[in-house]
Amino acid sequence: MKQYLLGIDIGTSACKVALFCRDGSVAALDGEGYEVYYPHPGWAEQNPEEWWEAVCTALRRMLKKSGVNPEEIAGIGVDGQSWSAIAIDKAGNVLANTPIWMDTRADRICTELNERLGEERIFAVAGNPMQPSYTTGKILWYQREMPQMYEKIDTILQSNSFIVYRLTGMLSQDKSQGYGLHCFNMREGVWDEALCKELGIPFDFLPDIYECDAIVGTVTKEAAARCGLAEGTPVVAGGLDAACGTLGAGVIHSGQTQEQGGQAGGMSICMDTYKADRRLILSCHVVPGHWLLQGGTTGGGGVMRWIERELAGTERAIAEESGRSTLEVLNDTAGAVPAGSDGVVFLPYMSGERSPIWDPNAKGVFYGLDFGKTRGHLVRAAMEGVAYSLRHNLETAKEAGVDVQVLRAMGGSANSWLWTQIKADITGKRIEAMASDTATTLGAAILAGVGTGVYRDYDEAVSCIRVRRVHEPNPENREVYDKNYKNYIGLYENLKDMMKN
């Protein structure tokens, strides 16, 4: 039996590649960064060809350093960021940069669609509101603003299906990424051709839908030469990064919940029955027969990357001298400030905001500054602001009839003991930290393992996943966090009209 499974993750700031043994242990890993482009206010786009180049670079380097024989890889799974709109022509050429999940350029188009078709008509099929972050409006933006390019479109792909296409030459659409298009019937997991026509999206643009663990094709000779993999290696359809991270955290049964600490923040609650709420996000899980009720916020690990880039010169210098990461040093800076940041509150709406407020005009805000506040107050308030957004989504899910008590944390921010404890204190939930840096690639690899028969089923696949540490809410911090959370909610309510200008 072949020894390894490969997971490829197309994140917002970088790709990650990881080889796993059957027991879930990491045999080798690597990564490669790429740019996000912000050419205009409200725009955030990437070049999919830069993803592919990064994947090839990371794979070649990983295989060379590890000495692993590519022939020993049993299968490949690919996950990726949500809500891309990758336009390719008949020859497979990428026609333009793709707007990504942070992009809100289609705001006006979505408003027009809601008025023309009715929010109820769209929501009844898609289980999600028509908002500019999703794929639907971006396709129609191409139609309106780039008509010459639009005429050349043969297929629209998502981030993971684009990499699957580059690996195999096969066009596909996995079920978990279907939620980006409002002509995807969320209950049935199929395209709704009638609504597709009403929305104005050509049905021919949409690839065939596959289960996430279905083998789409195998690595071609050309792809093998580019990235160093073995020709003929099976590739499954893969799925949404949040859903694969949820799987990689061992969340496969109803009621289990993942807390996401990547570039974006939020949570994913596993359900075995359909339940939609306009304030939240609903997708199919990568595990067949299940859905994920998600809270998706633009403020997550990306907030700390911004803090590091713009405010953490001192911490970067200390990190370089000490051999520690800048995040570790920032933890020390924030840890010197008491819970509640002495009243400083941060709204983490750094690229508009998704659930539950759905406001593309929302802005990041620090409130409560005076001459007694330090950089440490800003850093801790930023961590707390992301945690308030998580609480906001969890409380919204409870109002929708889905209450959870335990969160399984994954993503880079789960490496921070302090930040994870802050989230536990603010939400009042027990948080179990998993293998934070590899949960998403592990989820993608598990899909390949189930699809190729390495694992009998998902229960067997996740049996090796272990909790690394546990964070219980500290009741001593509840009062100050409740007060600040009330201010957090009130700040947005009082500023949202001003944010439109």
Average pLDDT, whole number, for the chain? 96
Ranges assigned E (strand) in 272-420: 281-284, 291-297, 345-347, 365-367, 406-410
Q: What is the pLDDT of residue 436?
A: 64
Give alpha helix (H) positions in 345-477: 375-399, 417-427, 439-451, 458-462
Which of residues 435 and 131 earns the better pLDDT score?
131
Structure tokens at 105: 């350029």
pLDDT (tens digit per residue) in 364-406 = 999 999 999 999 999 999 999 999 999 999 999 999 999 999 9
Please state, in angstroms and rounded to a whole number, the distance separating the CA atoms of residues 13 and 46. 10
The average pLDDT across 346-364 equals: 94
Which residues lie across from 265 on neighbouring strands? 261, 297
Which residues lie across from 215 on neighbouring strands? 236
Q: What is the pLDDT of residue 437?
A: 77
Which residues lie across from 173 on neighbouring strands? 209
Helices (H) and strands (E) in the chain, counts: 17, 24
Q: Are 17 and 58 in contact (CB under 8 A)?
A: yes
pLDDT (tens digit per residue) in 302-319 = 899 999 999 999 999 999
Place of tokens 């022939």: 71
Record the pTM. Answer: 0.92
Q: Are 169 and 91 in contact (CB under 8 A)?
A: no
pLDDT (tens digit per residue) in 225-242 = 999 999 999 999 999 999
Q: What is the DSSP letter of 300?
A: S
Parse the chain into domains and list their residue ranges: 4-248, 301-309+340-433+469-499
User: What string of DSSP letters covers 421-454?
Assistant: HHHHHHHT-EEEE--TTTHHHHHHHHHHHHHTTS
Which residues lie across from 193 on neighbouring strands? none
Q: What is the DSSP letter of 94?
A: B
Confidence of residue 215 (pLDDT cuts 50, 70, 90): very high
Return the number of other C-beta atoms located less than 10 Å from residue 312's C-beta: 23
Q: Return the SS3 of 80.
A: strand
Q: Return the SS3 of 290.
A: coil
Name the CATH superfamily housing domain 301-309+340-433+469-499.
ATPase, nucleotide binding domain (3.30.420.40)
| Helix H or strand E segment including 87 | strand 86-88
What 323-327 contacts at long range (C-beta under 8 Å, 24+ apart), as own/partner pairs, is 327/412, 327/415, 327/416
pLDDT (tens digit per residue) in 103-153 = 999 999 999 999 999 999 999 999 999 999 999 999 999 999 999 999 999
Please state, in angstroms and rounded to a whole number, the distance separating the CA atoms of residues 443 and 55. 17
Q: What phi and psi, each to the nearest 5 degrees, are found at residue 187?
A: -70, -40
Compute, in degrees rounded to 10, the torsion defined by CA atoms 409, 414, 389, 126.
Answer: -50
Short-list 346, 337, 330, 347, CA closest to 372: 337
Please state, in angstroms and rounded to a whole number, the distance separating the CA atoms of residues 102 and 468. 31
Short-list 415, 410, 400, 436, CA closest to 326: 415
Q: How many CA atoms lie within 13 A of 383 on its CB side?
A: 31
Q: Are 267 and 407 in contact (CB under 8 A)?
A: yes
Short-list 87, 184, 204, CA closest to 139: 87
The average pLDDT across 282-294 equals: 97
Compute, in degrees rounded to 10, the torsion defined by CA atoms 102, 107, 111, 117.
Answer: -60
Q: Return the SS3 of 360.
A: coil
Place of tokens 């027990």: 430
Within this chain, domains 4-248 and 301-309+340-433+469-499 share the same CATH topology: yes
* CATH code for the domain defined by 4-248: 3.30.420.40
Q: What phi and psi, each to the nearest 5 degrees, are found at residue 404?
A: -130, 160
pLDDT (tens digit per residue) in 42-59 = 999 999 999 999 999 999
